[in-house]
Amino acid sequence: SMGHMMGWPLPECFLGMENAMTFAFTQFLLLIPIVFLNRQYYIGGCKALIQRAPNMDSLIALGSGAAILYGIYAIYRIGIGFGQMDMDTVHAYMMELYFESAGTILTLITMGKTMEARAKGKTSDAITKLMDLAPKTATVERDGTERVIPAAEVQPGEVLIVRAGESVPVDGVVLEGASAVDESALTGESIPVEKQAGDTVIGATINKSGYFKMRATKVGDDTTLSQIVRLVDEATSSKAPIAKLADKVFVPVVIAIAAVTTVVWLLTGQTVGYALARGISVLVISCPCALGLATPTAIMVGTGRGAVNGILIKSAEALETTHSVTTVVLDKTGTITQGKPVVTDVLPFGAERDELLAVAASLEKRSEHPLAEAIVSEAEKEQLALLPVEEFEQIPGQGLRAVVEGRICLAGNRRMMEANHVENGELFSRGETLAEDGKTPLFFARDGRLIGLIAVADVVKPTSAQAIAELSDMGIEVVMLTGDNERTAEAIRRQVGVDRVVAEVLPQDKEREIRRLQESGKKVAMVGDGINDAPALARADIGIAIGAGTDIAIESADIVLMRSDLLDVSTAVQLSRAVIRNIKQNLFWAFFYNAIGIPIAAGVFYPAFHLKMNPMLGALAMSFSSVFVVSNALRLRWFKAKHAAAHTAPSPSDGGAEITTNQMTANEEKGETTMEKV
């Protein structure tokens, strides 16, 4: 449309007044597919106008629609001009074709919305994946025989059999047998829970060792897993979209100015064409390309910077909302802690350290208990040779008994030692102290005498304390929610410095706690990694999932931390604040530009200075404002998170205890990450 003004080599059939009709009609034909592809603006915008709640779509529909209608009117006037050989009319209306204004408006706005939509994630997949967690089959005991049936057909009261490695099909009560059940996915408890007759088991948890029979108590929609699915669904669908300032204030004001402009020029005796041109100029120049791009472009650049920093932001709303977070709720297992038990203390008593570790690893090598894996891997790390083991025996709820090199050895908890009359008040007291610190003490005896204890715990991640301190420094309250026991939770609280702890919470309790915080007027971000966190992640204003966590947690969240590092939570908040600052700058310039451009377009300065603007120049000016806004948004590409110096690693505790931690230090100048083992 502007090629003839720029001196571009357009085909001859579009140049000169004699080809005015071809030039005009070709533009109209080229515009039709653009209008068809963007018809949702007209449908939504007109509906909003009818309901007296005009929004951005209404302004787009009015601005582009008025330009199209006036362009069609201009085609008729050109045709009439040719019919009457009135070349002045032909020339005048050839310059007043506004099809390119309509096309530009629709295309730029759609580009902005497309960029925004690409960043959005779907939460419906989370519900599907949650449902897939439930075991598909169950082994049921009917008429004295075992039968494998679909889990959906299990009836309350039926007796089920669960072997090692199988998932528990439904909620129920253990009738006979003993095992360790991994409930971490649902409760957050990092250590598998010992189950004996009379204990409850939850559907979709995993039987790590042993064999047991259970009676089904809750099936179908009543199971804990089904309740989590329902909570995720409800919490996701109840999220309200952020109301945009432009919709509420800017749009009605602009529409009113355009209408008043047209009426005033008609009343002053100007032609309908002139009055309409002024009204359309107001709509076109204010048509929110700058406003429409102010948010999505800043968010798109911010999202890109997040990805570079290992932070995946799924939606514009997530990035917009994160800056106003006042409370961060953290899950414990796998979020603050590593999520995997490791040996923290080796306390020999009457034996060498390596000797104690070799005996312990030899015994635990045959055990199916997850704590055993930590001891065996510690021995392998120190390259200790395992000893031959005979007459191996597991004692449910207590530990192990076996013969090692011809000597009877015991491994287990304090209860096992006392049952076998192995006493040592000093070592038991040390065990209690370690338990107070959230560690699990395991005692080892040989020939009726204690040879030491090994403590195993889910240790805190190296950067957790620093990340929590940074969040506190930013004025954000930090709360820890965990399904783990009170004592372990309190020990972790002392180590990392969270403001408040809520322990022993079930998945639905986590969601309820988030809702309670929201009802007290707080903007809440939830950080978690397990299936048990999914409802809370979906309910929170911002759900942040640890990248090493489950697919369900990742799907339910708004933000995913790919590096599984809590420091990235403070980075995400800093990034969000930088983006919001940028958006405010963009909106300021967009409004400032409109404050100057609208009066010129309306013809306010025409009587005094003969200054007016035709819609084509309005569209051009509008494009320049968009370029300005996008350029400002691109400044976010230089965003860098500011982190305080890392906290020093804890020194080894007294009494020969050995603490193994990995301290990560970031080399910000070179942008590389180095690992140092302390």
Those residues with Cβ within 8 angstroms of residue 18's Cβ, 6 or more apart along the chain or in another chain: none
Neighbours of 11 (CB within 10 A): 10
Residues 666, 678: Cα–Cα separation, whole Å: 15
Whose CA is closest to 446, among 409, 414, 418?
409
* CA distances from residue 198 to 161, 174, 184 in whole angstroms, order as listed: 15, 5, 21
Residue 653 burial by CB count (10 A; 0-12/13-18/19+): exposed, middle or buried?
A: middle
331, 345, 529, 565: the active-site residue? 331
Given phi > 0 = left and psi -120 to 50 = alpha, else beta, which region is 580?
Answer: alpha
Work out the end-to-end distance of the chain between its first and last CA atoms, rounded to an integer number of angstroms. 68
CA distance 199 to 212: 11
Catalytic residue list contains 143: no
Q: Is 16 left (phi over 0), alpha (psi -120 to 50) or beta?
A: left
Query: How many angstroms separate the Cα of 76 from the Cα of each of 15, 82, 97, 581, 664?
Result: 19, 10, 11, 48, 72
Q: Is 122 exposed, middle or buried (0-12, 13-18, 19+ CB in 10 A)?
A: exposed
Q: Measured between alpha carbons, how far is 526 from 532 in angstroms, rounded to an integer?
A: 12
Torsion on CA atoms 144, 147, 150, 153, rounded to nearest 10? -20
Query: Which residues neighbour 153 within 8 Å (Cβ) at sequence distance 6 or greater?
Result: none
Q: How far is CA 56 from each of CA 248, 281, 441, 671, rounded to the nearest angstrom?
A: 9, 17, 63, 41
**Which strand ranges, in their side-by-side order, compose the sheet holding 327-331?**
311-313, 559-561, 542-546, 524-528, 327-331, 477-481, 500-502
Residue reference for tokens 């931390």: 561
**Tally of residues, the chain:** 678
Tokens at 169, concatenated: 């099909």
Residues 360, 371: Cα–Cα separation, whole Å: 11
- Bridge-based pairing of strands 337-348 and 449-460 is antiparallel
Write out the catalytic residue numbers: 331
